[in-house]
Structure formats: C-alpha cells, structure tokens
A and B are shown apart, each in its own frame.
Chain A
C-alpha cells in the first residue's frame, strides 16, 4: 500500500540553525499538510499546500517557516532559525478524497 515517507526520523540541531524536514507524499495526492506535536500536547495544524501554493496556515507558521514542493514529489518544511520551542514531532500528511494519510514523523530536537 502506498505510504507517506518522512526523513529524517530524528534530527538534532543547534538553536539558530536552519533545518529542512522532508516528506514524500503519496503520488496521486493533491493536498499536503504539515502538523506539529510538542511533547505531551495535542497535534496541531501548521500549514496546508495545494496547487503549488499555501492554502491555509496557522498562527504558529510565522516567517521562520516555509514550505515548498521543489520537484513535484518531495514536500519540504524549512525552519530558518530554530528556537528551543520548535522542538516537536512534525508530521506530514497527504490527502486523497478528504482522508489524510500520515507519515511516521520527524522528531526535531533543538539544543
């Protein structure tokens, strides 16, 4: 069965460094999402992406964040200058007809 894959599974970075989280959505999906889960908290929406542009973003998704689909298959989330509070599990999801399929997540630790 097709699946959403995310890399890396775990990333440790120094505060202030840039990180890029990668996702390969299911190939015939059109809608792509990033969600975040801070340890001990619920999963929260970051951004949605459709037709090569952001369709919706949350208050969390400030100027430090960006998304792109550089080559038509990968879907990336970039954090320009990481802060300690960016430490979280980041999930990519892709949508078929309104059913979300999730990747296994990237655990980002900012030290």
Chain B
C-alpha cells in the first residue's frame, strides 16, 4: 500500500474552472509539500505546510493533520496550470520525503 495517495490521477478542466487535488497519507508527518512538475521534468515547490491553510495567488493548500489529508485548490484555472502536481510528506521519524504518484492536470482553453 502506498503511504501517500493522490486523487484523481488525471484531471481535465476547462479554463476558468475550480480545481481540487487531494492527498491522503498513512504515516505521522511533520509537514507536507505540494510540488509542481512541468513536462520538462523539473520540480517546483508550491507550498510547504504543517497546519491550516496557505494561499499564493490562485493556489490554496489546506491540511488536516488529524485526518491525514491535504488538498490543493486552483481557482480560475488556466492552460499554463497544466502540469503534474505532487504531494510529498515529511514523516516524523525521518527527514526524507515520501512522494505521491502525482496528479496530471490538463487545462484546455
């Protein structure tokens, strides 16, 4: 069983739609990272959070530590948001990241 599960695996949206990507994990964590990976392969950090909610532009990330769940929301989606979004957690007993399998988002004009 994967320690970090993401849903959906693939997501298609029309420009302007509100997007939600979910991440559930089974281990105790100190923090969670949302990352973005573009087709070229590079990874960009979007958020690191350990409680509550963070907002950056059209992106919002929330986490519920008790429920072991986090969500990434994109408001007013745009074709340039098309990428793979990856959830990764920092387990309590180690400082290596455990990654989810990613959610592939395609936003069409």
Chain A residues close to B by CB (< 8 Å): 31, 33, 35, 37, 41-45, 48, 56, 89, 91, 93, 95, 98-105, 107
Contact (Cβ within 8 A) A99 B88: no
The reply to whether B99 and A43 form a contact with Cβ atoms under 8 Å apart is yes
Asked if A45 meets B96 with Cβ closer than 8 Å, knowing A102-B45, A105-B41, the reply is yes
With CB as the reference atom, state the residue of chain B lying closest to A91. Answer: B43
- A32 to B31: give the CA distance in the assembly, Å: 18
Q: How far is the CA of A46 from the CA of B99 in the complex (A)?
A: 12
Indicate with 1 or 0, residue by residue over B29-72, a CB within 8 angstroms of chain A CB atoms.
01101010000111111001000000000000000000000000
A interface majority secondary structure = strand
Answer whether A43 and B86 are a contact pair too, CB < 8 Å, given A33-B96, A98-B31.
yes
B97 and A45 contacting across the interface, CB-CB below 8 Å: yes
Encoded as 1 (CB less than 8 Å from any A CB) or 0, chain B from 76 to 109 comes to: 0000000000101010001111111110000000
Interface string of B2-33 (1 = CB under 8 A from A): 00000000000000000000000000001101
Residue from A41, A100, A102 having most chain B Cβ neighbours under 10 A: A100
Assembled-state Cα–Cα distance A104/B44 (Å): 8
**16 more CB-based (< 8 A) A-B contacts, given A43-B88, A56-B94:** A41-B101, A42-B101, A43-B43, A43-B97, A43-B99, A44-B99, A45-B96, A98-B30, A99-B33, A99-B45, A102-B35, A102-B45, A104-B40, A104-B41, A105-B43, A107-B41
Shortest distance from the beta carbon of B29 to any chain A beta carbon, whole Å: 11
Residues of A contacting B35 in the complex (Cβ-Cβ under 8 angstroms): 102
Report the separation of the CA atoms of residues A99 and B64 in the bound assembly, to the nearest whole angstrom.
Answer: 19
Complex Cα spacing A70 to B88, Å? 30
